[in-house]
Amino acid sequence: MKKELFEKYNKRLPRYTSYPSYPFWSNDVDQSSWLMHLQQVFENHNTNCNVYIHIPYCEKLCFYCGCSRTITRNHRIEEEYLKTLFTHWDWYVQKFPDLKINGLYLGGGTPTFLSPHNMGILLQYFEKNFSEADEFRATIEVDPRVTTFDHLQVFVDHGVKRISLGIQDFSPDVQKKINRIQSFELVQNLVSEARKKGITEINCDLIYGLPDQNLIGVQETVEKVIALSPENISFYSYAHTPSKSKNQKALEKYHLPQNWEKRILFEKGKELFLKNGYLALGLDHFVKEGSSLYHAYKNRTLTRNFMGYDIGSTKVTIGLGASAISNSGLSFIQNPKDVPDYLNATMNPQLMITHSHTLNILEQKINEIIQDIMCYGRSEITSLLKISSQEVGQDILSQLNKLADVGFIKMISGILEVTHQGMPFLRNICEVFDYHMKNNTQKLFSQSV
């Protein structure tokens, strides 16, 4: 990557895990319209869905964290929370009795905050709605500090063969500063046991841009992760937004890598992953050829959502738990963010939607294009130009021509193709189609490169 291009195009942009991006949602969806959207999608396809379950609890606060979570060591709260999840799910099943789960994803917070016993209760409750074994997949985020071998056994007993390990960085100095201390040996033992018990796919999450990270430390972390031989690796940029996550202010007394200094940390990691047989996928993922994400890419069933890159076997995602987001393909809704509000809302479903958006025809088409660009680096844009106004269409083509002149894209018979040089700038390319960003003057987003 050329430094001058980085400096010119590295600006605050959405991550494009959804379109429109969260700050531009219009809050126009109520329960009746949400159910109508689901019914419409199910009639045109089938009653299969993905389910995301948010477990908001953590025993310790990680200072870098920007997720919705509650810090507690009180495990007595688990049972009430599970009952609320079940009530929420039952509401959906009553509306759509044939509902089947193609993909189950547990995120947080810390899903393995739940005891192995309660984790088993949770998985067993949803098991009756799992789709056929060849279609069903499940992924659970695990914190190596609180995940036991008993957790792993529960996963396998209920058909969960994929886990995602939160690692971030193996440097003891960085771990101390971010308040997340976990040794390589701890993680290595957990991975080894997971393999023995039948976990077939492991993802490792890493973050670059953490306090006092440097090239030597990043190289050591990446080499240790490669030694673990995970099928998938997510290498995320740290988003420092203390206005949203006050705990991040604790990191400001340290040096936070910025701009080009931060970017070369990613480039070092990327270099090592590629040298060791991993393939770059989209913006920030690296995969082995045999992984499910690799096959999804080859089969063009890859999607990008709030969890990162995923397998898109269905249009519908139902979010359960505090702050969880659901996607009908025609609209987004979010559950109450605070746990007490979520617990109360299940008693009155009219209170369950706190943030929402209905996609108009233009947004639906833009969403498809952004998905294609973020997943495959390629998209057909002629159909968008046909439904756009002449002014909008001319503006899009003008901006695309500028990106083509720089060498980020090629345009061939209405097909946009991202070049090798353009791949780090996927978010900048997506911005061309994002009319919500045209008049945006607020610093709502993280740096794009």
Is 399 in contact with 432 (CB distance < 8 Å)? yes
Residue written as tokens 């159910």?
A: 35
Nearest to 382 by CA among 407, 250, 368: 368
Percent helix / strand / coil, the chain, rounded to 5: 45, 20, 35
Q: How far is CA 13 from the centre of its chain?
A: 16
In the chain, the largest separation of any two C-alpha atoms, in whole Å, equals 61
Looking at 26-30, 131-135, 331-335, which range is the least confident one?
131-135
Vertex 244 angle, CA 242 and 249, to 5°: 20
Residue range 422-441, pLDDT digits in tens: 999 999 999 999 999 987 76
- What does the pLDDT read at residue 156? 97
Question: Would the pLDDT of 105 be above 70?
Answer: yes
Question: Would the pLDDT of 26 be above 80?
Answer: yes
Interstrand relation of 232-237 and 201-208 (parallel, antiparallel or unpaired): parallel
Q: How far is CA 419 from the centre of its chain?
A: 24
Is 307 in contact with 203 (CB distance < 8 Å)? no
Is 85 in contact with 55 (CB distance < 8 Å)? no
Q: Which residues of 2-38 are buried (b: 16+ CB within 10 A; e: fewer)?
A: eeebbeebbeebbbbbbbbbbebbeeebeeebbeebb
CA dihedral 187, 193, 197, 200 (to 10 degrees): 40
Residue at 275: amino acid letter: K
**Mean pLDDT score, 356-367:** 96
Is 136 in contact with 168 (CB distance < 8 Å)? no
Q: How far is CA 430 from the centre of its chain?
A: 17
Question: Would the pLDDT of 444 be above 90?
Answer: no
User: Two tokens at 75?
Assistant: 């495990």
**Mean pLDDT score, 190-205:** 97
- What does the pLDDT read at residue 200? 96
Burial of residue 61 (number of CB atoms within 10 Å: 0-12, 13-18, 19+): middle
Higher pLDDT, 406 or 350: 406
Residue 53 has a CB neighbour count (10 Å cut-off) of 23
Residue written as tokens 């080859």?
A: 298
Residue range 53-63, pLDDT digits in tens: 999 999 999 99
Higher pLDDT, 244 or 251: 251
Burial of residue 177 (number of CB atoms within 10 Å: 0-12, 13-18, 19+): buried
User: Two tokens at 6?
Assistant: 């980085």
Q: How far is CA 386 from the centre of its chain?
A: 31
What is the reported pTM? 0.94
**Three-state DSSP class for 106?**
strand
Residue range 278-320, pLDDT digits in tens: 999 999 999 999 899 999 999 999 998 888 888 877 889 999 9
What domains can be seen in the chain, in order of their start residue? 1-14+361-449 (1.10.10.920), 15-320 (3.80.30.20)
- State the average pLDDT for the chain: 94
Residue at 280: amino acid letter: A
Interstrand relation of 308-311 and 302-305 (parallel, antiparallel or unpaired): antiparallel
